[in-house]
Amino acid sequence: MRDVCIVGGGVAGMAASIFTARAGLDTLVIDGGESILARNASLENYPGFPDGVDARRYLQLTREQARNAGAEFELGRVTRAEPVEAGELEQGFVLETEGGDPIETRRVIAASWSDSDYLVPLDVGRIQRGSKYFVDVDEGGRTAVEGVYAAGRIAGEPHQTVVAAGHGAKVGLAVIHDSDANFYHDWVAPEGYFTGRDRDVPPGCEEIDEAERRERDEQARETILEAFAEPLDEEPTMHPSVESE
Ligand SMILES: Cc1cc2nc3c(=O)[nH]c(=O)nc-3n(C[C@H](O)[C@H](O)[C@H](O)COP(=O)(O)OP(=O)(O)OC[C@H]3O[C@@H](n4cnc5c(N)ncnc54)[C@H](O)[C@@H]3O)c2cc1C
């Protein structure tokens, strides 16, 4: 049984997975297709990119970061989520996917804007606004069903990438705190930051020395330089109702 399955490998789902995987939770992201951000023409309000960034490049890099953190990805649309049958010792859920084997997990994060139909059997508290269904959550993304969370646009967050990413991270942290992972913060600090004050390095944190810091910086620079060396040969996805020529 997985520790956490994230339905939707878009902005919120990938951000959540970076946190849960880095905290040591066995994390599977199941993605049924494309993030709605693939329709963007130029992402210009995501902090850290002074002149903007190609949205598809942002998605690629975030996915690479999630994989580096230890998250696994599976392609497939989730069609149904149900509690593991009564009588089992462990609390959990079974996710059915189109064409794939059922997947068992202790916790589910729904990050699947704009589909929440698969949650109907769980009765999480969906809210209809016009043609859309949102999921009612608390401040940590917890739904009415223990072990089921929602993140990003589907949880009613504003329709912006940085907000969806931040919310995904916040929900990932709630999952970590609700699990038995030993965790304080996901921080990388310079050598001596804690130990220099006779404190143990808290769980989830890391102290690195100057040589290690320089090595990681070099690796990070190489990755970014390589990623941005050439323009991406991918175009934005057009809205399905716009007729193509
Ligand atoms: C044309 C356009 C331009 C935009 N421009 C900007 C901008 O400039 N700046 C900005 O901040 N924001 C912009 N946005 C908004 C931004 O794209 C969204 O707010 C953000 O992507 C929401 O993140 P999310 O993770 O909630 O959803 P998504 O990123 O859409 O991720 C949801 C994921 O769930 C998957 N999924 C859905 N159903 C299932 C299922 N049943 N099983 C498995 N997977 C499933 C989808 O395939 C998708 O990968 C734009 C959006 C559009 C449409």
pLDDT digits (tens, 9 = 90+) for 48-106: 999 999 999 999 999 999 999 999 999 999 999 999 875 655 689 999 999 889 999 99
Which is it for strands 2-7 and 27-31: parallel, antiparallel or unpaired?
parallel
Residue ranges of the chain with pLDDT lower than 50?
none
**Ligand 1 atom at minimum distance from 161 CA:** 11
Cα 219 from Cα 224, distance rounded (Å): 9
Is the separation of the CB atoms in 65 and 16 below 8 Å? no
| Per-residue model confidence (pLDDT) at position 100 | 87
Q: Which of 40, 102, 49, 93 is nearest to 74 (CA)?
A: 102
**CA quadruple 142, 109, 120, 75: dihedral, nearest 10:** 170
Which protein residue's CA is at the shortest distance from atom 4 of ligand 1? 40
Is the separation of the CB atoms in 65 and 18 below 8 Å? yes
Q: Where are the domains of the chain?
A: 2-183, 187-245
For a substitution probing ligand 1, which of 14, 37, 63 has the most ligand atoms within 8 Å of its CB? 37
Which is it for strands 103-110 and 132-135: parallel, antiparallel or unpaired?
unpaired
For a substitution probing ligand 1, which of 159, 171, 237, 242 has the most ligand atoms within 8 Å of its CB? 159
Ligand 1 mean position to 37 CA, how many Å? 5
Q: Which of 84, 70, 75 is nearest to 27 (CA)?
A: 70
**Ligand 1 atom at minimum distance from 36 CA:** 30
**Does residue 164 line the site of ligand 1, with CB under 6 A?**
yes
Strand partners, 5: 28, 108
- Supply the DSSP symbol for 41: S
| Per-residue model confidence (pLDDT) at position 103 | 95
| Per-residue model confidence (pLDDT) at position 88 | 57
For a substitution probing ligand 1, which of 28, 35, 46, 93 has the most ligand atoms within 8 Å of its CB? 35
**Ligand 1 atom at minimum distance from 157 CA:** 26
What's phi and psi for 28, nearest 5 deg? Answer: -120, 130
CA distances from 38 to 60, 91, 201 (A): 11, 36, 40
Ligand 1 mean position to 223 CA, how many Å? 25
| Per-residue model confidence (pLDDT) at position 26 | 97
Ligand 1 mean position to 158 CA, how many Å? 11
Q: Beta-carbon neighbour count of residue 225 at 10 Å? A: 9
Is the separation of the CB atoms in 93 and 4 below 8 Å? no
Cα 37 from Cα 96, distance rounded (Å): 25
Is the separation of the CB atoms in 164 and 11 below 8 Å? yes
Considering the domain 2-183 in this protein, what is its CATH number? 3.50.50.60
